C-alpha cells in the first residue's frame, strides 16, 4: 500500500465537499485505522479524510480519551454559548489561530468502535475537535473563521513555508 500523507494548504481536495459513505466495509474500516495512525504519528488530535486525499465523510479524533472513528458525522445541535481558543491544523503547518466555536455540540455518526449509529454530546476540546474535523468535510479551513486580515497573513505565511 502507498504511504498516506497529510495534504497541505493549496491542495484542492481540502476545499472539496465530501461525499457520504454509502457502505461501511472493510476498506472504510482500514482507512479509518490508517487515519488514526497518521494522526498519532503527526501528534494531532483529529484528522478528516480529505486531509489524506480521500473525499468521503470520515473523521477520527482522540483528545486523550481514546479514539473515535466516525463515518458520515454531522452536527445536530450547537450551543449558543461560544468560546475562543487557539487551533492548529495538520494541513496548515505553523498556523495557530484563535477560533470562535460553539462550547457544546451534539453530533451523530456511525461510530466504528461501537459498530453503530450514535449521538455524542461533547463540550470543550472534544466539541472544538468535532467542529474542526466536520468543517474539513465541508471544505472549510480554520483560516475561513478569521478576519480577512488574519486570513491573508496566514495564507502568506503558508505560501512562503510551503512554496505554494
CA distances from 58 to 18, 45, 99 (A): 9, 15, 23
Rounded mean pLDDT of the chain? 96
Q: Can you tell me the mean pLDDT for 129-141?
A: 98
Instruction: Examine residue 7 and state whether it is found in any structural domain, yes or no.
Output: no
Reading phi first (left if > 0) and then psi (alpha if -120 to 50, else beta), residue 46 is in beta
pLDDT digits (tens, 9 = 90+) for 33-53: 999 999 999 999 999 999 999
- Number of compact structural domains in the chain: 1
Q: From the centroid of its chain, how far is CA 45? A: 9
Reported confidence tier of residue 3, pLDDT bands at 50, 70, 90 = confident
- Per-residue pLDDT of 55-66, as tens digits, reads 999 999 999 999
* Helices and strands in the chain, H and E counts: 3, 7
For residue 23, tell me if it sits in a domain.
yes
pLDDT-derived band at 163, boundaries 50, 70, 90: confident
User: For residue 39, how many C-alpha atoms fall within 13 Å in the half-sphere facing its CB?
Assistant: 25
* Residue 132 included in any domain: yes
Please check the confidence at residue 77 and state whether its pLDDT lies above 60: yes
Contact between 69 and 58 under an 8 Å Cβ cutoff? The reply is yes
- Within a domain: 140: yes
Mean pLDDT of 10-32: 97
Structural domain span for residue 31: 12-162
- Does residue 2 carry a pLDDT above 90? no
- Using CA atoms, how far residue 160 sits from 79, 89, 97, 100, 144, in Å, is 37, 17, 17, 26, 19
User: Dihedral angle at the C-alpha atoms of 119, 124, 127, 133, nearest 10 degrees?
Assistant: -150
Residue 5 lies in a domain: no
Q: Tell me, what's the pLDDT at 1?
A: 42
If you average pLDDT over residues 6-25, what whole number do you get? 97
For residue 19, tell me if it sits in a domain: yes
CATH of the domain at 88: 3.90.45.10
Q: What is the pLDDT of residue 47?
A: 98
In the annotation, is 27 catalytic?
A: no
Amino acid at each position: 500500500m502507498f504511504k498516506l500523507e497529510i495534504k497541505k494548504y493549496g491542495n484542492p481536495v481540502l476545499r472539496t465537499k465530501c461525499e457520504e459513505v454509502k457502505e461501511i466495509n472493510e476498506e472504510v474500516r482500514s482507512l479509518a485505522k490508517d487515519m488514526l495512525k497518521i494522526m498519532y504519528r503527526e501528534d494531532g488530535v483529529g484528522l478528516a479524510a480529505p486531509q489524506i486525499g480521500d473525499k468521503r465523510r470520515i473523521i477520527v479524533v482522540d483528545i486523550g480519551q481514546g479514539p473515535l472513528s466516525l463515518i458520515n458525522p454531522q452536527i445536530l445541535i450547537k450551543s449558543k454559548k461560544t468560546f475562543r481558543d487557539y487551533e492548529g491544523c495538520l494541513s496548515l503547518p505553523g498556523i495557530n489561530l484563535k477560533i470562535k466555536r460553539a462550547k457544546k455540540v451534539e453530533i451523530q455518526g456511525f461510530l466504528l468502535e461501537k459498530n453503530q449509529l450514535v449521538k455524542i454530546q461533547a463540550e470543550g476540546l472534544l466539541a472544538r475537535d468535532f467542529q474542526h474535523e466536520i468543517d474539513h468535510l465541508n471544505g472549510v479551513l480554520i483560516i475561513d473563521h478569521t478576519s480577512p486580515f488574519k486570513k491573508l497573513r496566514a495564507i502568506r505565511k503558508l505560501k512562503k513555508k510551503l512554496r505554494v
